[in-house]
Amino acid sequence: MDKKTNTWLFRWREKAKGRVIRRSVTIGTKEQFPSKGAARKSPAAEQMRLKINHTQELPKELLFGAVIERYKREEMPRRFSTRHSYKAYIDNHILPKWQDVEINKLTPETIQMWLNAKTRKDNGQPLSGKTKAHIRALMQILFDRAMFWGYLPIARNPMELVKIKGGTRRSSRPNVLSPEQLELLLDHIHEDHVRLIVVTAICLGLRFSEVLALKWMDIDWDALTIYVRRAIVLGRVDETKTEYSEAPAPLDPALMEALLDWCRKTEFSQNEDWIFASPYSAGENPYFQTTVRKKVFAAAKRAGIAHMLRGEPTKILRHSYRSWLGTTNAPVAVIKDLMRHADIRTTFNEYGNGLPAPMREANSKVVRMVLR
């Protein structure tokens, strides 16, 4: 321990240029690890021991926390929103339970019992099946990397034996707005930009993260097409959710007129400008997603339909778009392509391809419902 800083140090010697050099790294503070034994068993110490002795026999007491720390440092997804979700699952669920457990003592049975009993911290309610399935999938990745790094023998991933009931099912069916409810919602939105964001989202089936990331250069006015090239999450510009989310969307003339009208009103109308640039940042950034969601929900309260938009309004609008497409008698492949899904099973549990002409016709029918 370094008594001056009251921190634990991991010290070792290594040979360099014919002489022995002493090295050290900080493991943590006295508050984090009250005893020397606790500091020696910490994930950071285990990771350093593995790194230094990588050519020697692996330690018998390799902690799962060491695998997690290396994964967080080297393997986290590049896309911000995915990385943000993974970090939440790790910090809130996986680390608190398993960081001090030896990796070879984690069995499928104990993990499944733990997942079955998992509850939410805020209200004590059981976690949804889908959330448990996400945690299971992430732990499967961690075990895969542990085998890849040589921390475990290469064998069947133990998480394949863990089964989650209801992992592929929603805990409740998503709400869908009727055209009349949408009109009521739009009437109670006070801000012009928020109203147009909602209209654009439901006319194209886009997520708020994609609508707010649109720039004027993404619109081909002559070809009546909008190109979805990026998303913005928590103020960070990122890739779209999948490569299929980048599929161009047909721009109906009625929606085009609404966007042109906004282009004439806004002070940020250059090609490189955000369509929904925020004046609070002098146009450097679009309006913040969380603020838009709050304003939409406040309008829903005023309209008396707040119960319909509980949770994530952008998902409700997207589900509504999907439902309205179903009333147009469009081919299932066209609806799948308009939803920009990678697999038609996500939309209809079938497979097929859509053609540009029927896609545009089906989309225009939904736009007519919105901009009546």
Average pLDDT (319-339) is: 82
Please state, in angstroms and rounded to a whole number, the distance separating the CA atoms of residues 112 and 301. Answer: 40
Residue 242: predicted pLDDT: 67
Q: Which residues contact 333 (CB under 8 A, 6 or more apart)?
A: 344, 351, 352, 353, 354
- Contact call for residues 286 and 276 (beta carbons, < 8 A): yes
User: 181 or 240, which is more confident?
Assistant: 181
Residue 322 near residue 340, CB atoms below 8 Å: no
Lowest mean pLDDT among 29-38, 137-146, 235-244, 347-356: 347-356
- Note the pLDDT of residue 353: 39
pLDDT above 50: residue 349 = no
- For residue 339, the Cα-to-chain-centroid distance in whole angstroms is 18
What is the pLDDT averaged over residues 14-23? 67
Closest CA to 193 of 271, 300, 276: 276
Contacts 24+ apart (CB under 8 A), 111-114: 111/136, 111/139, 111/158, 111/159, 111/162, 112/161, 112/162, 112/163
Predicted local distance difference test score (pLDDT) of residue 42: 80
Candidate from 43-57, 168-182, 203-217, 222-236 with smallest mean pLDDT: 43-57
Average pLDDT over residues 169-197: 85
In this prediction, residues 227-251 reach a mean pLDDT of: 80
Q: What is the mean pLDDT of residues 183-188?
A: 94
More confident residue, 336 or 19: 336
pLDDT in tens, 25-45: 788 888 888 888 888 878 777
**Is it the case that residue 61 has pLDDT exceeding 60?**
no
Residue 20 pLDDT: 66
SS3 state at 64: helix
Task: Return the structure tokens found at 314.
Answer: 């952008």
Q: Is the pLDDT score of 52 beyond 90? A: no
Q: What is the pLDDT of residues 115-151, one digit of tens each?
A: 988 877 666 678 888 889 999 999 999 999 999 988 8
Does the pLDDT at position 365 exceed 90? no
- Three-class SS string for the chain? CECCCCEEEEEEEEEECCEEEEEEEEEEECCCCCCHHHHHCCHHHHHHHHHHCCCCCCCCCCEHHHHHHHHHHHCCCCCHHHHHHHHHHHHHHHHHHHCCCEHHHCCHHHHHHHHHHCECCCCCCECCHHHHHHHHHHHHHHHHHHHHCCCCCCCCCHHHHCCCCCCCCCCCCCCCCCHHHHHHHHHCCCCHHHHHHHHHHHHHCCCHHHHCCCEHHHEECCCCEECCCCEEECCEEECCCCHHHHCCEECCHHHHHHHHHHHHHCCCCCCCCECCECHHHCCCCECCHHHHHHHHHHHHHHHCCHHHHCCCHHHHHHHHHHHHHHCCCCCHHHHHHHCCCCCHHHHCCCCCCCCHHHHHHHHHHHHHHHCC
pLDDT in tens, 255-276: 999 999 999 999 999 999 999 9
- pLDDT computed for residue 56 by the predictor: 43
- Cα torsion angle, 261, 265, 270, 274, sign: negative
**What is the share, in percent, of the chain residues with pLDDT greater than 70?**
84
Number of Cβ within 10 Å of residue 33's Cβ equals 20
- Give residue 352's pLDDT: 32
pLDDT of residue 215: 94
- CA dist., res. 165 & res. 116, Å (int): 9
Residue with the larger pLDDT of the pair 209 and 3: 209
Q: Which domains does the chain have, with CATH numbers?
A: 62-161 (1.10.150.130), 179-370 (1.10.443.10)
Say yes or no to pLDDT of 357 above 70: no
Least confident of 244-258, 276-290, 346-360: 346-360
pLDDT-derived band at 292, boundaries 50, 70, 90: very high
Q: At what angle do helices 192-204 and 313-326 cross, to 10 degrees?
A: 40
**pLDDT surpassing 80 at residue 250:** yes
pTM of the model: 0.64
